[in-house]
Chain A
């Protein structure tokens, strides 16, 4: 994303003009834009005019509209963002207060003004969105014999692009049905994969790295299958493709296994220190701490609030993990509460704050824990027992 104009005052008021450059930017826009914000972008509007005789004519008009956002609709698979709201600046075609849905488009700019001003989280997100230098992207296929999930992993998202599924006959003493349908499965998988990565129309040097992961030998066998294809056809492209493939181990063929794939040494050495690798490591160390039961790791909104208020998430190892979905809450107070928490940890306590993308596996694991977790500088015990008293009463 490109920021063509940034005009933010010290008190947080002001606006920015942004240009979306690639599909991933839609995701950033989705996180930046919140309900009640003012957004101005190009729009196509059907305008009905009534002549004096009463005959109605309608035509489509390209115009710029400014709307106050009510809802956002993000289609992760297609990378499309639809912003609905009510027109807040009247023009020749549209009345004030009329409803409109803007479809944000790539290579077009839009202006964004925050309703409650630019807070620390918003500015941080803007910085991330504009930063284009560390954009890792790779393909991952988590598979077993008969099932494969083709995913694309970007800095902020893990998307399941397509699933290939085939019922495999089991092994039998007689006949080679198993081997036959295995070859067929690999064939379908390879075709699907090369269609997804657009193998035939991509210049050889632009092929993205591909991870093949599976329990057992399926991933290695699939690579071997591609290698046999290379001998028979289109050697050059396939050769380049094979060079980009890394085979690694996963414990299951499900998308959730990606988390463990991304932290495997083979992957880390190829990809270096990426955001998602860091996030995965972070969540792992959180789980580890929970396992030790040392009272230094807590999760859940109430518990984390208590910990922060007790000053346990501060300088010297305190880490607040928070999912960015919490900042997208439609409830303004709720949103402010989390921003205040982040500011408190960062500015007053001196702890570390990590905002995890909930579109990633690590973020999803955090979501499962209630969206927020903390690693403490000193142990606090029995937080859940306090909690139980509070919850037990209404039930009883």
Chain B
């Protein structure tokens, strides 16, 4: 499919009158604006603006030109910009042989991506030449094909990434996971936040309102900003992590909106593993808070803590439902503080913010219901988010990046992975090893925290466009490393655990970020003293909830894991223990 599309681009540009024009006509969807799907149109408009801003004001390019370019590059903003800049320069003759006129679009691709594999291109050309009569056609095919497939390796710039990072003095970036019990309004709250910060424009919001009204769920319109799949929309439940970005004056934020439903806790764990801090959403209305405390409010809070999240913002949501009652807020605050401190959060790193996702009160702007909410003088949710302290970055450690997503950004970048760099750094052109498959790939290009970049460092969420690898080797939870310092696959390990439920030799699922592998606790080595870590009792039969112990875990299949990774052990849909891998 991708091949064919690109072929068509070549014909259209250079050989309009060529015999195979027909194929182009019926083979591809037309390009006039009214034939574009609604989604494409939106994307087109969005990207047109981006391109314009990148080109700068003194650059003269018509909307039509920009949109043409965007169409050819499948909405790749960067390449379109390069193309347009080239377009305005005097036309340079193609570097290839004369019978091999390269389209301007291809040139731009070359310029943007540099360093084509010349050898391969040449051999292709020569074979094409030998076939008399089809020479031009063949060559064009090769060139067109090349521009897609072979212009993969961008030049390795040999940057000292750590130095670059220090020099760059970047705007602070932080990611946070939104957790809490099901139906407490996590997605709606985040939808509202994005809408109020104008990340989601009025037009798309209007569309969501219309669509949600159609199926009689108009109160879900804001949640639909985050919940994109049909399943999620029809059932009104978040299933998978939704990632979104916004920016305040101080910080670039990445939202990871987690599902609240018990069944999807593995997805929530995957999201929380990428987060710097967490926002715990609590429904303040009667009974909801209480049922949440028995359910996922408790479990999520414990999970994020055991995954290393230290800072927690408790968003007491749906305050409009209890008329901004101060008593209710204090009650929740007291109960939660007690519980969170037991769970291991320092009281200084917990903050409580009353808000209302549906109406938008105290999220970006203060409460409108001044009479009832006069008691609250604290910050809004967004300004509280802004107080996030920059997290420490493990820059000097070997590269570890956990894949949370594998996808296709565009036909030019057929294999892209996204995930958080847990440690180390990488740059475009690097050769990386994917564990556990041990396959290698080359980083063609990348974006860090949603912006195109030459390098990425620990703490950032990056999207890597990979080349020279079969996507079959890329799975959620795989770890990207440098070949020389690759993580090892192991089949069993000992871990120091904090028991959340009764632990005995049993079957468990071992969760490490997005990766989960079936295994079993095969031996209980000892229970330990909580404070000192000394052995209290060897070979216990059962570990009681709340106790700390050392256990041996055997995995059903190999898993890339090293000390000191944080793992979660779950069994039959319950979290059994949180652990730290020791060896």
* B-binding residues in A (CB < 8 A): 167, 169-175, 177-179, 215-217, 221, 249, 251-252, 254-257, 259-260, 287, 290-291, 293, 298-300, 303, 364-365, 368-370, 383-385, 387-388, 391-392
Contacts and interface: CB of A to CB of B under 8 A. Distances in A.
Contact of A179 (B39, B230, B240, B474): B230
A89 B482 CA distance: 63
Nearest to A364: B507
Contacts of A179: 229-230
The 8 closest A-B CB pairs, nearest first, are: A251-B573, A215-B263, A254-B518, A256-B507, A169-B407, A368-B505, A216-B263, A171-B228
Contacts of A221: 231
Q: With a 10 A CB-CB cut-off, give which of A169, A171, A252, A260 has the most chain B CB atoms.
A: A171
Given A368-B520, A369-B505, A257 B572 contact: yes
B502 interface: yes
B354 to A, nearest CB: 29
A252 B574 CA distance: 10
B522 interface: yes
A391 B408 CA distance: 56
Q: With a 10 A CB-CB cut-off, give which of B39, B240, B474, B572 has the most chain A CB atoms.
A: B572
Contact of A252 (B229, B405, B509): B509
A290 B239 CA distance: 34
B229 A169 contact: no
30 contacts: A167-B475, A169-B406, A169-B408, A170-B240, A170-B404, A170-B405, A171-B228, A171-B229, A173-B228, A178-B229, A221-B231, A249-B263, A251-B263, A252-B266, A252-B570, A254-B509, A257-B572, A259-B572, A260-B573, A290-B502, A293-B544, A300-B541, A365-B507, A368-B505, A368-B522, A369-B505, A384-B537, A384-B541, A391-B538, A391-B539
B263 A171 contact: no
Given A254-B509, A255-B518, A169 B573 contact: no
Contacts of A171: 228-229, 232, 240, 242
Nearest to A288: B502
Contacts of A178: 228-229
Contacts of A303: 541
A368 B474 CA distance: 32
Contacts of B474: 167
B476 interface: yes
A366 B43 CA distance: 57
B407 A172 contact: yes
Interface in B389-406: 404-406
Nearest to B505: A368
B229 A290 contact: no
A45 to B, nearest CB: 40
A136 to B, nearest CB: 23
A216 B572 contact: no
Interface in B487-541: 502, 504-507, 509, 516, 518, 520-522, 537-541
Interface string B534-562: 00011111101000000000000000000
Contacts of B407: 169-170, 172, 177
B506 A368 contact: yes
Contacts of A290: 502, 504, 541-542
B95 interface: no
B505 A217 contact: no
B56 to A, nearest CB: 27
A213 to B, nearest CB: 12
Nearest to A389: B538
B241 interface: yes
Interface in B201-249: 228-232, 235, 239-242
Nearest to B263: A215
